[in-house]
Structures are given as structure tokens and as C-alpha cells.
Amino acid sequence: MSLSPLLLSLLLLLLLLLLLKVEPARATLIRIPLRRVQPGSRTLSSLRGWREPVKAPRLGPPSPGDKPSFVPLSNYLNVQYFGEIGLGTPPQNFSVVFDTGSSNLWVPSRRCHFFSVPCWFHHRFDSKASSSFRPNGTKFDIQYGSGRLNGILSEDKLTIGGIKGASVIFGEALWEPSLSFIFAHFDGILGLGFPILAVEGVQPPLDMMVEQGLLDNPVFSFYLNRDPEVTDGGELVLGGSDPTHYIPPLTFVPVTVPAYWQIHMERVKVGTGLTLCAQGCAAILDTGTSLITGPTEEIQALNAAIGGIPVLPGEYLIQCSEIPKLPQVSLLLGGVWFNLTAQDYVIQIARGGIHLCVSGFQALDLPPPAEPCWILGDVFLGSYVAVFDRGDMKSGARVGLARARSRGA
């Protein structure tokens, strides 16, 4: 039996129309209600970067990977964002910083040293209370610019958002000598950097979730809510991004060093009178850093241009009454200007009738052999949603940026 050319054409046209009407399958999005931890009367000790690694990493290739999962974030004075995970069976809950500037997961251990004071102020993992715990015993040591911590590696199940039962290797911190951990409103850190940053060659949680089929794509995005009038602190989206968080389009910038999420920044302008990073420079997108940091000489010039008053090494206060008059600071990334108003880059703190305004720009010189570099922390990432895409063997890693929507928009 043979079909006439006309009948065949009609059948093909009908099939094409049917295909055009079929909508692509969408992955199920798992959402968790967001919360914001209201700050108490603790000392604001973490305006300085609490987590600057001492050594620049070696370079290494990223790993390959839409089952997005949403994790709630909380915010402390707009300089600490963290959310909840579970470890073990049944899950023991911990507040962790989701940190794109490191690649290990660690929490305090119930076996921590008696004189490790931060342990007593935070939740501690109890291996004896978990039926899925598997000992590892390898010792680990993480060195930061402001201190260090060490302990042993262990293996257990991770619960994060709607993802349950991911087997991960994590650190049980036994010794945390850094005072900054005492005042931190989080228990530990979940690193979202590249594998090359992980101490002891531990596979990062993101890679393990992809490898175990619990997450389809090695993609995640951050929406950090800066609105002090609402209770939530934002959202971490695993496996993709939520377009309702940002104003399209996304500007994608390639990652130049697949260790930190490092990209090339073409220029920085302050108002119309000052240009920094004039020949281009490196910039790292880091959710674990509260402020925007840069080389001392350039940050000094920037703060002078916005009326910053030096109070501590590298830190500046702003006269709150001057905020409406302050110039715009603009960063050129991927050929697009990303503008920050004074409302974006000045951190306003009101406590006990005192109104304090802190510059969001901090001087920080990374140790050699690292090149002069800016770190775009939460002051930038609160204004712009970042989509972190590890890519695959064909396409390299990249970061997508777009202006964050206000929660009421």
C-alpha cells in the first residue's frame, strides 16, 4: 500500500501541528518555606571575611551533570545567609552557610574537644544517634585567613530540601579555635565550589548528588533577600533557577578558573569620576563572603569617593544621612554594566536606638601567588541573582547574572 504525495504531506503537517502543541516536560520543583533568623544581641563580628583561604588552589577540571530542589536561607543583618540541612538517620538538623568559595561540608561533632568553645554554642553531630553512619576516620584540616578547624571525616546520609538519602563524606569538626565561629549564627559550612578546592580529595556534596542520580544538573542559583521588612532570607535552588527571582535576561560570563567561581571583570566605575580595575581584573563570586572586597589601594579610593570613614583596618563607616546623595558603583561583567546604588552597597544596622551604616566595600589583599582580585560577596549577590552552572565536557562552567526582583514585585 502506498500513500499519495498529497496525503503524505497532509499527514506530516498534522503530525507537525501535534508536536508543536506538546509542551516540554518540566522537572518537579521542590520548595521549602523560607525563614529569616532575627538577630539577637550578639556581637557583629563577621563583617570581616571569616573565611578567606590562605592558599590559592591548583587548577583542575570541573565534573559533568532538572530536578531542582529549593533550600531556605536565613539572613543575619544582611551579612550572614544560611539554611538547614539534615545529616544521619533520622536527620540531625544543622544551619549551614552554602558557600561557593569552598567545597567541603562540615559540622561540629559531639566528640569535639572540651576546650573548643564554638562547639558548645552550636548543634553537634552525634554519630551514635544515626543508623546510617559509616566511620571514615581520615583527619582533615581547613586553614582560613582568620583561623582554622580540624577533625575527622565521616560518611552519612544528607537531607537537603526535597533531596533525601544522598550519601556524602563530611567533616566532623573536633577543634575550632577561631573566635569568629563562636559568634556565627550557623553551625557549619556546605561548600559549593569546584572539587579541586576540597581538602583530602573529598567529593563535594553537589557532585555526589549528581553522581547518585538525585540531582540531574550541576546547576544551582542564589536569591538573597535584602528586604529588612520581610521574614525570609532568600532561596537556594538546586538543579536550576527560578525566573521569578530575577528580571531577565541572564548575562552569562565564563568561569576563568574552575576552582573558585572566578570570572573576568572588565572595569569598575564609581559615579562619573573614578575608574578602578581599569585594565580588567579577576573577580570571585562568593556567597561565603559578606561584603565586596578588593585590593587595598583601590578600595581606599572607592571608599574615599563615597565618603567612607576608616574605623578598622580595611573597614569603613558611612554617614547614614548621606546615603541618598552617594554615587552609583557599577561593575562591567560580560559586557554588561551591573549597577549598585547606595541602598545596595551600604549595610544599615539599627539596634537599641543607634543607626549605624557600614560600607559594603572592604579592603582585602589575597596572598601570593594569587593575582589582585575582587570578591563579589553578598552585597553584590543580594542585588543580583547568580546562576552557577558547572557545565559539562562540551561547555565550560559559567555564571549567569540578572537583577534580583524585590519580593513584592
DSSP assignment, residue 9? H
Q: Compute the average pLDDT of residues 154-182.
A: 89
Kindly state the cell numbers that stand for 306: 563615597
Q: Compute the average pLDDT of residues 126-133.
A: 98
Instruction: Inform me whether the pLDDT recorded for 339 exceeds 70.
Output: yes
Respond yes or no on whether the N-terminal peptide bond of residue 53 is cis (omega within 30° of 0). Answer: no
Residue 10: which residues within 8 A CB-CB, separation 6 or more?
Answer: none
What is the average pLDDT score of the chain? 81
Q: What does the pLDDT read at residue 47?
A: 31
Q: Is 141 a catalytic residue?
A: no
Q: Is 242 a catalytic residue?
A: no
CA distance 380 to 340: 8
Which residue's entry shows cell 578547624? 149
- Three-class secondary structure of residue 402 per DSSP: strand
Q: What does the pLDDT read at residue 167?
A: 97
Instruction: Inform me whether the pLDDT recorded for 38 exceeds 70.
Output: no
Residue 212: which residues within 8 A CB-CB, separation 6 or more?
Answer: 166, 167
Q: Compute the average pLDDT of residues 231-247.
A: 88
Instruction: Inform me whether the pLDDT recorded for 46 exceeds 80.
Output: no
Q: Compute the average pLDDT of residues 142-154.
A: 80
Question: Which pTM does this prediction carry?
Answer: 0.84
Are 342 and 326 contacting, i.e. CB atoms less than 8 angstroms apart? yes
Instruction: Inform me whether the pLDDT recorded for 231 exceeds 80.
Output: no
Q: What does the pLDDT read at residue 97?
A: 85
DSSP assignments along 12-39, one per residue: HHHHHHHHHHPPPP-PPPB------PPP
Please give the torsion angle defined by the CA atoms of residues 23, 29, 33 and 35, in that order, rounded to the nearest 10 degrees.
-110
Q: Active-site residue among 207, 286, 344, 389? A: 286
Q: What does the pLDDT read at residue 2?
A: 37
Residue 148 confidence class, pLDDT cut points 50, 70, 90: confident
Which residue's entry shows cell 579555635? 177
Q: What does the pLDDT read at residue 108?
A: 94
25-29, 94-98, 168-172, 267-271: least confident range: 25-29
Residues 364, 366, 372, 376, CA torsion sign: negative
Instruction: Inform me whether the pLDDT recorded for 198 exceeds 50.
Output: yes
Instruction: Inform me whether the pLDDT recorded for 16 exceeds 60.
Output: no
Instruction: Inform me whether the pLDDT recorded for 399 exceeds 90.
Output: yes
Residue 289: which residues within 8 A CB-CB, separation 6 or more?
Answer: 49, 51, 52, 101, 375, 377, 378
Kindly state the cell numbers that stand for 208: 555526589
